[in-house]
Amino acid sequence: MENFKCKVCDKDKPLEDSVSLESQICVTCFTSIQIHKRNLKKIEFYKDVLKEENQHTPIRKNKIKIIEKMNDIFSFQRADILQISQNDVNYYIEEFAKQKTIRSLRFWKGKYIVREYEKDYFDLDRMKRTIGTYKRKINASNRTKIKFKRFVNIIGRESQFKVLKNMLLTKLIEFVKTDDSEEFAKLKQFIFKGVEEYYEEGLIPNISLFFHDNYERLFSTLFTKILPFDIRRISFSYPRVNSRTDFGLTFFYRYNAIELHAIEDAIKRHCNDKKTKLNQVCKFLFLNNIKTITLILDDLLLHYYKILKIHSSVRSIVNVLNSNQKTTKRYNEVYYKIHMREW
Ligand SMILES: [Zn+2]
C-alpha cells in the first residue's frame, strides 16, 4: 500500500489516512488542528476583552500562557480543554506525568508542527489548577460576544435601527418577548408578584416603590439576561419615586470596541440609508432597550385598573429628562435620565 509522510506529525501514514491528496496531513492531525484552532480563536478573543478593559495584567498573561500550552498538548491528544470536564483534565495530566516526554501541537510561523518536550518543560500541577477558572472565563466572554453580534444583526435586519414610527422599539419588544421567553416570563412574574405586596385595598399598588426597591435586579435581568449587555459596564442610579405609578432612574452604559464593531457591521449589512451613524444607533438602541420595560408595565397597570373597575385606556411611557453621550474610537458611553409614568 502506498504511504505518505504527514507534514504535521512527520509520520508515514497510509494514503487513505490523508485528508486530501494535496494537503499531506493525516486525519488524526487534521482533527487535532481543528480543535486547536477553535480554542486559539476563543483565547485570542478573551485576551482582546481583557485588553479592552485594561485587565490584561502580568498575572493573567501568565495564566493564559499556561492555557495556551495546555491547548497545545491536549489538542494533540484530540481533547478539547475548553469543553472537557475537570475529571478528564486530571486523567490526562496523570497520563502525561507517567511519560518521559510530551508531544505538543504548535502553531509556528504560520503552520502547524508537532514538537516533543521533556516532561519538566510543563508545569502539570499548575495546569490542573488553572484550567477550571479560565475555561469558564474564556467560554463566557465568547458567549457574550456571539450573543451581542446576533442581537444587533437581528435588530438591524428587522428595523434598520430606524426610530421612525417606533420601528426600533417594536422590534426590540418582539425580541425581548420571544428570544428567551422563559427568562422574560420569569421577569414578568417577579414584577407582578413583587408589586402585589405593595397593594392596598382600593388603590393602585405602589409600583414606583417596588421599582425603587428592586431596580437593580430588575434592570440587570432585562439588560444582561434577556438582552446581551455586559453587567460590568452598565449602571443604574438615583432612583426617584414621585407618585404610585411615577418613577425616575438614571442609566449608563459603556459600549466597548467589540460591541461597536458588531453594530458597525450590522449597519453596513442592513441599513440602506448611508446616513445611519454609529453614535446615533448606540444612543437610540440603549434608550429603546429601556423602553421595552413598558411591555410589562402596561400589563401591570391594566391588571390593577381592571381590579379597581376603572375603565381607562391607560399605558405607561418613558420620558427622557436628560441624556448625554461620549464617543471615542474605542468606546461609546451613553447616559439617560429617565422618567417613567402612566399616560
Ligand atoms: Zn499527522
Taking the centre of ligand 1 as the mean of its atom positions, its distance from the CA of residue 38, in whole angstroms, is 18
Give helix then strand counts, H and E, for the chain: 10, 8
CA 5 / ligand 1 centre spacing (Å): 8
Distance 76 CA to ligand 1 centre (A): 10
Sign of CA dihedral 326, 327, 333, 334: positive
The whole-number pLDDT of residue 272 equals 86
- Cα(11) to centroid(ligand 1), Å: 6
- CA 117/CA 37 separation, integer angstroms: 21
Question: What is the per-residue pLDDT for 23?
Answer: 80
How high is the pLDDT of residue 54? 80
Which pLDDT belongs to residue 30?
A: 94
State the distance from the centre of ligand 1 to the C-alpha of 13, rounded, in angstroms: 8
pLDDT of residue 253: 97
- From ligand 1's centre to the CA of 107, what distance in Å? 14
Ligand 1 geometric centre to CA of 80 (Å): 18
24 CA to centre of ligand 1 in angstroms:
8
Tens digits of residue pLDDT in 201-253: 888 899 999 999 999 999 999 999 899 999 889 999 999 998 999 999 999 99
Note the pLDDT tens digit of each residue in 91-114: 999 999 999 999 999 999 989 999
How many whole angstroms from 17 Cα to the centroid of ligand 1?
9
Cα(28) to ligand 1 centroid in Å equals 6
pLDDT of residue 187: 95
Residue in 11, 45, 43 with CA at minimum distance from that of residue 26: 11
CA-to-CA separations, 153 to 41, 113, 182, 285, in angstroms, rounded: 21, 38, 22, 12
CA of 78 from ligand 1 middle (Å) equals: 12
Q: Which three cell numbers stand for residue 288?
A: 429603546
- pLDDT at position 53 is 73
Q: Whole-model pTM above 0.85? A: no
CA of 20 to the centre of ligand 1 (A): 13
| Rounded CA separation 341/243 (Å) | 9
Residues 69 and 126: their CA atoms lie apart, in Å, by 11
CA of 3 to the centre of ligand 1 (A): 12
As a whole number of angstroms, the distance between CA 329 and CA 278 comes to 11
Per-residue pLDDT tens listing for the chain (343 residues): 688 999 999 899 988 888 887 788 999 999 999 999 999 989 998 998 888 778 899 999 999 999 999 999 999 999 999 999 999 999 999 999 999 999 999 999 989 999 999 999 999 999 999 999 999 999 988 888 888 999 999 999 999 999 999 999 999 999 999 988 889 999 999 999 999 999 888 888 999 999 999 999 999 999 998 999 998 899 999 999 989 999 999 999 999 988 999 999 999 999 988 888 999 999 999 999 999 999 999 999 999 999 888 887 888 999 999 999 999 988 999 999 999 998 8
Rg of the chain on CA atoms, in Å: 27
Torsion of Cα atoms, 100 then 103 then 108 then 110, to 10°: 170
246's enclosing H/E stretch is: strand 246-255
pLDDT at position 330: 87
CA distance 189 to 195: 10
